[in-house]
Structure 1
Amino acid sequence: MTDARRLGTDEAAFIAAVRSDDTARFTLITERHRRELQVHCYRMLANYDDAQDVTQETFLRAWNKRESFEGRAALRTWLYRIATNACLDFLEKRNDRTPVPAGLPGADSELPYLQPYPDRMLPEDPQESVVARETIELAFIVAVQHLPPRQRAVFILRDVLGWPASKAADDLELTVASVTSALQRARVTMREQLPGRRLDWRSPATHELSEGERGVVKSYIDAHERNDLDGLMSLLRDDLRFAMLPDPGTVVVGAKDAVDGWISGGLFQAGYDDWRCITTTVNRMPAAALYRRTSDDPEYRLLNIAVLHIVDGKIAELTGFDATDKPWLGLPPTL
C-alpha cells in the first residue's frame, strides 16, 4: 500500500478531526493503520504482546502530538515515524531484547522473548500481504533481531517497506549518508543470518502454504495423535533445529538429539499419550496446535504450538511455543 493511496483524503480528515478535537473521528481514521503498524512493531520487537502494547502507545502518542501534524507528509508516514520511535524507546529501556548465544555448535543464538504472530491479525490489504510471508517468517524475525535497534529500523524502513533513503532519514532524524551506511551494514548481517535465502524483500513473494507443506503438517499431527514415534522421526531432517520457547537453553540441533529429549521428557508415555491437534498458521508458516488430555481431565487442553519450517518435504526447523493460557493466537483453549 503506497502513501499515495489515501494521500489528501486521510490527511484532510485527520486535520479536521484535530481542529474539532473529535476523538471518535481521530480513532476511526488512525485505526485503519493498526494492523500494519502492529506488524511493523512486531518486526522491530519479535514479540506479539509487546507489539500490541507499543502499537497502542503509538496511538496515544499520535493523539498527544496531533497538533504537530500539518499534512506535509502522508498520515501513514507520520504514524510509522511515531511507531518506529516508540519501538526504539522500548528497546532502549530493555536489556533483555538481544539474541543470546545458544551454546551449541550450529545453533547460533536463541530468542527467549520470541512469540508467534497470528495470521488473522496480519493486514488484510493484498498488497501488504503479498510480501508478508518472507518478512514475517520466524527465521526473518530472528535474523532482524541481530541488528542494533536503529540499524534494524533503517533496514525495515528501507528494504522491507521500500522507503527512499531521504524518507527513512527524516523518520529517524538521521542524515541520508547515515541511513545508507546503516543499511549496508544491516544487509551484511542479514546475509550472514539467512544464507541461501533471497534478500530482495520488496519483490512479491507467495504467502500461501504449498500442498507439500499442508501434507507434512497433517502427517505431523497424525503421528502425534497415534503416538507414532517412528512416523514423527521420519518427518524430521537429520539437521533439524529445535527450540522450545520461552524456556532459555532449549535449542537442540539434530533430529536424534531432539527426539531423545522429547522421549526423556515423557512424549508418548503416560500423561503425554492422549493428543488432539489442529492445523493452524502463524507468521505465514504451517503450524500445529497440540492439545493434551490427562487421565484426571475430561477435556483436551491447549499445551503447545509447533511452528514448522519445511524444506523439501521434511521439517528443517521446529519452534515450539508454550501455549498454556495464551489467548492471543485465537485458538480454543480446550477441545
Structure 2
Amino acid sequence: MTLATDGDVFSTLVEPLRGELTAHCYRMLGSVHDAEDLVQETFIRAWRSYDKFEGRSSVRTWMYKIATNVCLTALDGRARRPMPTGLGQPASDPRGTLESRPEVTWLEPLPDAVIWGGSPEDPEAATLDHESVRLAFVAALQHLTPPQRAAVVLFDVLSMSASEVAELLGTTVAAVNSSLQRARAHLAKLDPESERDSARQPDDERKRELLAQYVDAFERYDVERIVALLSADAVWEMPPFTGWYSGAEEIGDLIRLNCPAERAGDQILVETTANGGPAFALYMRDPADGVHRAFHLQVPVLGEGGFTHVSAFFDTSLFARFGLPEELPEEHRGRAQALRAGSGETSHG
C-alpha cells in the first residue's frame, strides 16, 4: 500500500471524528482555540502511529485515547479557565465599579459550527449531545483535576466502561470509580442545572417566543422588559469583568448604569448558536459615527421562570471565531434604522 493510499484510508477513518474530538478537547480545556489546536496535534500523533494500530479497539476509542493524553499533557501546570461565578467571591453590587481582568484566561463559548457544521440538528448530534457542551457544565468541569475531568467525560458523557476509562488513563478500575464518585459530588454542587427536570422547561414554540421577546427588549433598550423576562434569581456574568450579579432587579440596575445604549436601535442582536443552544452577538452603535460595532457575545439560558443565566463575553475577538464581522452586517442595518426612527431619535443621539 502506498503512502498516498494510507493517507486516504487514515483520513476516511478519522476525519468524521473531528467534531466530537473538538468537543472532547473543549470540555477538557475550556477553549475552542486550544481545542482545535489539540485536535490537530491528535491527528498528527495518530498518523505517526497509524502503522502500529492493530485494531484491538475501535478507531474511535484509539483516537480518544490519543486526544485525552494530548489534553492532559497540555493541562500540566496550566491554570483552569474560570467564569466570574467560579472565582469564589459573592455577587457584586451593580452600583459598584466594574473591574476588568483581560489577562485572565477565561472560559470561552463554543461555536456550534465548529462541531455541528452550523446546525445542532445534524446526524452527528446522535453522538454529540447538546447537554454535553452546555456552558455551565464545561465551566464546572474546569474545577476538577484534569484526570477527574477526563474520567467524567469519558464515562458519563461518552459512555465508555470503567475498564475502558481505566485503560485509557493508565490506571485501575477502582481508581476510576473513586475519582468519578468525588468528581460527581463536586459537579452536583457547581452545576445544579444538570439536575433540572427537562419536562419543566418551556416547549419549543414558547422558547422561540421568549427568545424573540428577549431580542426585541434589548433592541428597544427596554430595561423593564428585560428584567421581566429574567427569572427572579437570574445570574449575569461578563468576562473579562470579574463581577457577577444575582437577581433580575440587580441585573436591571447593572444595565441601566453601565450599558452605553440610550434608546431603541442603539444595540442590535444577531442570532448565532453556542454550546448547543441559542446565542446572540450584540452590536453597539458608536455615537461618534453611527456605526454598530462588535460589543459582546451573549449565551442565555432559558428556564421555567424565564432566563436564568446570561453569560456575556466581552472579548470581541470571539466574533471572528463565530464567523461574525466586526461591524453590523448589512442585512441588519435597516432594522437598527427603523428602531431608532421609531424611538424619535434626537440630535444628541
Given the two structures, how large is their TM-score scaled by the length of structure 2? 0.79
**Structure 2 letter corresponding to 1:279:** E
SS of residue paired to 1:174: coil
The partner residue of 1:294 within 275, 286, 290 is 286
SS of residue paired to 1:292: strand
The partner residue of 1:330 within 318, 323, 326 is 323
SS of residue paired to 1:33: helix
Q: CA deviation at 1:243?
A: 0.7
2:39 maps to 55
Structural mapping, 1:1-335, within 5 Å? 22-97=6-81, 100-104=86-90, 113-123=106-116, 126=123, 128-129=125-126, 132-195=129-192, 197-198=194-195, 210-245=204-239, 247-269=240-262, 274-297=266-289, 299-322=291-314, 324-326=316-318, 327-334=320-327, 335=329
**Structure 1 letter corresponding to 2:65:** R
How far apart, in 2, do the equivalents of 1:153 and 1:130 lie?
17
Identity of aligned residues (%): 36
Change in Cα spacing, 1:239 to 1:303, as seen in structure 2 (3 Å) is same
Aligned length: 310
Q: CA deviation at 1:29?
A: 3.2
Instruction: Tell me which moved more, 218-227 or 123-132.
Output: 123-132
Runs of at least 5 residues in structure 2 that lack an aligned partner in the other structure? 93-103, 330-349
**Structure 1 letter corresponding to 2:141:** V
How far apart, in 2, do the equivalents of 1:222 and 1:315 lie?
14
Q: Is the 8 A contact 2:272 2:280 kept in 1?
A: yes
Instruction: Tell me which moved more, 33-42 or 135-144.
Output: 135-144
**Structure 2 letter corresponding to 1:218:** A
Q: CA deviation at 1:135?
A: 1.4
Change in Cα spacing, 1:148 to 1:325, as seen in structure 2 (3 Å) is closer
RMSD value, Cα: 3.1
How far apart, in 2, do the equivalents of 1:27 and 1:262 lie?
49
- CA displacement 1:175-231 (0-9 Å, x = unmatched): 11111111111221122223364399xxx99xx982222222211211122121211
Instruction: Tell me which moved more, 58-67 or 177-186.
Output: 58-67
Given the two structures, how large is their TM-score scaled by the length of structure 1? 0.82
**Structure 2 letter corresponding to 1:294:** D
SS of residue paired to 1:156: helix
How far apart, in 1, do the equivalents of 2:314 and 2:82 lie?
20
**Structure 1 letter corresponding to 2:52:** S
How far apart, in 2, do the equivalents of 1:82 and 1:318 lie?
35
Instruction: Tell me which moved more, 41-50 or 128-137.
Output: 128-137
Change in Cα spacing, 1:267 to 1:286, as seen in structure 2 (3 Å) is same
Instruction: Tell me which moved more, 261-270 or 34-43.
Output: 261-270
Q: Indicate the structure with greater helix content.
A: 2
Change in Cα spacing, 1:57 to 1:277, as seen in structure 2 (3 Å) is same
Change in Cα spacing, 1:35 to 1:196, as seen in structure 2 (3 Å) is closer
Q: Is the 8 A contact 2:230 2:305 kept in 1?
A: no
Q: Is the 8 A contact 1:191 1:199 kept in 2?
A: no
Q: Is the 8 A contact 1:217 1:287 kept in 2?
A: no
SS of residue paired to 1:61: helix
Q: Is the 8 A contact 2:261 2:267 kept in 1?
A: no
